[in-house]
Structure 1
Amino acid sequence: MNETIVIILLLAFISENVTLKCSNGGFLSSAFQRCYHFIPKLLTNFDAQRRCETFNGALLVLNSSDEAQIVTAYAKYGFDEIENISSYWIGSRFMDEQYRTLKRFEKLRFFNWDENEPSAEADGNCISSSLKTGRWSSEPCHLPKVSVCTTDATKSCKQPFRHRWNESSSRERPATVLKKLDVLKCGNNSIYIDSLNGCYRFIEETQSFMNAEKQCRTSHGGHLTKIDSRFKMLLLKDYAEGIFSMNVTKYWIGVSRIYGIWSWVDGSTVEYTNWKQGYPSSELTEQCVAADDNTAQWINLSCFGNKLPFICEDPLEGTDDC
C-alpha cells in the first residue's frame, strides 16, 4: 500500500459521538480536529500569517510528531501542482530568545529540527518545513514561500461506524497495517476516507457503466464517485492502487456525456477534468468515463460495451444523535 495512505489511515480517528468537517474548505484530520489549508502563493512569513487570518486561521503550529507526519503526507497533495518548491512556512518566529507561535506568542512545545538546525544566522528568525521530510529549518522571514494554514474542524452529528480494514485485496500490505489499522466504516464494505469526509466502496466485480451506477445507487444510496479536484483524484488513485488487485487497469467514475455535455451522474456540471492525451474522443458510442488505475487519467468508453470495476461514493451513515 502507498506509504502516504498508510500514514493517513493509521492516524484516522473519529470521536465516539461526532464526526468532523471543514466548513471553509481544507484537508480534514479528525485525529487532531483541525483543517489544513495549503496556500500556493509565494508569500513572506508575515504575509502568510495575514493570509491565514483572512479566513480566521493561523499559520500551522505542530504539536506532535504524529501531526508532523500527517501534514507531510497531505502536503504531497496540497502542493502537487506547484513547481520548484522545497519547503513551506509554519507559524513560529524567534522572539525574546525563544521560538514562539505567531498567534499567541507562546513558547513552542514541539520541535522537528533538521540536522544542524536551527542555524546560527542572525536573520534566520522564521521556520520552514521541508516538503519532502517535514524537518524544520530556520530561514529569513522575508523569503517568499508557500505556506500551510490551520482552522478548527467543526462538528457534525453524522458518525460513521468502525470496522477493520478489508484484507481481501491480493496486493501485499505491511504487517503493521494489518495489526494496527482500524478504519472508520460508513456502511457495509465502505471505507471512510478522513480527509474527504466521505464513504467509498472499491468494487472489483465488473459491470457496465449503467449497472455500476445502479449498484451504487440501490445498495447504499450513492453514485459512481465524483472527482472534482486534483487532491481528490490523487488520493483516490492511491487508494485504488492499494485496494484493487494487480490485474485492474481502469475503473468507472461518475462522468457521462448527455446531449454532447459531460456531467456527473448526480446531475452536477463537470468543472475539474483529468483527460488522458487524445481524449475525450468524439466517437458517439463512447459516452462514459473510466480512470486509469496507474495515472488516474480519464478516457471515454462505450457505456455498455465495456465491463469494469468501479468506485462508489456513498452518503455518510450512522447516527444523527449527538
Structure 2
Amino acid sequence: MKLIIAFSFYFLANSIVAQQCSTGQIAYYSSCLLFIKTPLEFNTANSICTGFSGSLVSIHNAIDNRNVTSYVQHYTNGAFWVGAKTISQDVTNPTNWYWTDGTKFNYQNYQSFQPISQGSTSCMQVLPGTGKWSTAACSGTVLPFICELPSLIAQTCPSHCPSGYTWFAETDFCYKNFVQQSNFNDARSVCQADGGELTSIHSQNENDFLVQLSKTGLIVSDDGWVDQVWIGFIFVNQKWQWTDGTNTTYVNWGDGEPNKMQTEWWAVLNADAHQGSNTEASKWNNVGQIDERAFVCKRAALH
C-alpha cells in the first residue's frame, strides 16, 4: 500500500511540474527547458533566451548534466550551447568562467584534453551522446542551444526586480544599464531618483555580470574613452570608495590604472575591448568629469 501511495504521489507531482511548462518544453527544477534547433553564435543564442525572459541553460551537477543531455538526444546527436562563458584566456581556472544566468560555475564535465582556450573569449558546448564538455569560439561557431525559461507558474509570481532591472542571484541585487550620454553626477542623480545608486562591484562574478549587462559587443577605437560605463567608484579624502557606502572589497583596475590622479577622480567599467588595449576589456579606468555612453544603477531586490 505504501508503495502504491508513493508511486501515485510521484506521478501526481510530475504531472503538476509538467503542466508548468509549455508544449515542447520539459520541467527543470522550477524552470523549463526549451531546445532550439536553429544554429546560432553564442551571444545571439543567449539573446534569444533572454527574449523569452530566460538564459542559456546552466548545469551544476552530474544529475543536471544527465537530464539536459538526455533531453537533447531526442533532437540531435551534435553539440549544443550551454550558458558557460569566459573572457579570460586561462580557461583551466574555474573562477574565470561564469554562467549567463548569474549562478556559480561549480561543476564541469570536460572531455579529454579540454578545456582549450579559444582566444580572448571561450564558450561551452556539450555533446549529448557522452555528456562531455569542450570549449568553442563564441563568435564564428554556430550551434543549436537550450534556453532555461521561467515556468508558467513562476511567470505569475512577483518579480525580484522593478521593470527594466535584472536580478543577479549571487548578490541579490537588481541592476539596470542606462544607455545615455551622461557625466558622473548626472548619472548618479538618475540612479538615486530611481531608488538606487551607481553600481558598486564586490567580486569578479559581479564584474563579469555587469560586463555582459552593459557591453555593446563592438570593439572601441583607440581614442574611444567616452564609450565606457560609469560605476559608483570615486576618489574622495585620498581614497577610492563606493558611493553606496559599501566597503571596498574588490578592485579590477586595468594595466597602469588608476593614473592622472590630479584630475581623474571617477571610475568607469570598460565593458568593450579597445583596439589597441584588449587587456583593458572588463577592467576599470579612472577618468575626469566627461560624458560616457552609459551607466549602471544598482538597487535592492524586491522581497
1:274 is aligned with what amino acid? N
Map 1:129-144; keep pairs closer than 5 Å.
129-132=133-136
Match of residue 237 from structure 1 = 211
Is residue 82 of structure 2 the alignment partner of residue 72 of structure 1?
Answer: yes
Partners of 1:188 and 1:12 in 2: how far apart? 12
- Where 2:253 maps in the other structure, the secondary structure is coil
Partners of 2:262 and 2:135 in 1: how far apart? 45
Q: Is the 8 A contact 2:198 2:231 kept in 1?
A: yes
Partners of 1:66 and 1:249 in 2: how far apart? 44
Partners of 1:66 and 1:192 in 2: how far apart? 30
- CA 1:263–1:205: 2 relative to 1, 3 Å: same
2:85 is aligned with what amino acid? K
Map 1:1-322; keep pairs closer than 5 Å.
2-3=43-44, 5-6=46-47, 9=50, 12=53, 36=60, 59=62, 61-62=64-65, 63-65=67-69, 72-73=82-83, 75-77=84-86, 80=88, 82-84=90-92, 89-90=108-109, 113=127, 128-132=132-136, 160-161=158-159, 186-193=161-168, 197-219=172-194, 221-242=195-216, 249-294=227-272, 295-302=281-288, 305-308=289-292, 309-317=294-302, 320=303
Partners of 2:70 and 2:265 in 1: how far apart? 45
Q: Which runs of 5+ in 2 are unaligned?
A: 1-41, 73-78, 95-106, 111-125, 138-156, 273-280
Match of residue 122 from structure 1 = none
1:316 is aligned with what amino acid? A
Partners of 2:70 and 2:287 in 1: how far apart? 43
Partners of 2:266 and 2:70 in 1: how far apart? 41
- CA 1:76–1:198: 2 relative to 1, 3 Å: same
1:268 is aligned with what amino acid? T
Match of residue 141 from structure 1 = none
Count of residues in Structure 1 that have an aligned counterpart in Structure 2: 196
1:66 Cα shift?
10
Partners of 1:298 and 1:65 in 2: how far apart? 38
CA deviation digits over 1:191-219, x for unaligned, max 9? 34567654222112233212322221222
Partners of 1:262 and 1:274 in 2: how far apart? 12
Q: Is the 8 A contact 1:191 1:199 kept in 2?
A: yes
- CA 1:85–1:253: 2 relative to 1, 3 Å: closer
Q: Is the 8 A contact 2:267 2:287 kept in 1?
A: yes
1:286 Cα shift?
1.4
1:64 Cα shift?
2.0
Q: TM-score, normalised by structure 1?
A: 0.48
- CA 1:85–1:232: 2 relative to 1, 3 Å: closer
- CA 1:312–1:297: 2 relative to 1, 3 Å: same
Q: TM-score, normalised by structure 2?
A: 0.50
CA deviation digits over 1:19-65, x for unaligned, max 9? xxxxxxxxxx8x98x984xxxxxxxxxxxxxxxxxxxxx65632125
2:133 is aligned with what amino acid? S
Looking at secondary structure, tell me which structure has more strand per residue.
Answer: 1
- CA 1:285–1:296: 2 relative to 1, 3 Å: same
Q: Is the 8 A contact 1:257 1:288 kept in 2?
A: yes
1:280 Cα shift?
0.2
1:239 Cα shift?
2.4
1:235 Cα shift?
2.7
Q: Is the 8 A contact 1:262 1:269 kept in 2?
A: no
Q: CA RMSD in A?
A: 4.3
2:64 is aligned with what amino acid? V
- CA 1:186–1:83: 2 relative to 1, 3 Å: closer
- CA 1:201–1:61: 2 relative to 1, 3 Å: closer
Partners of 1:235 and 1:4 in 2: how far apart? 17
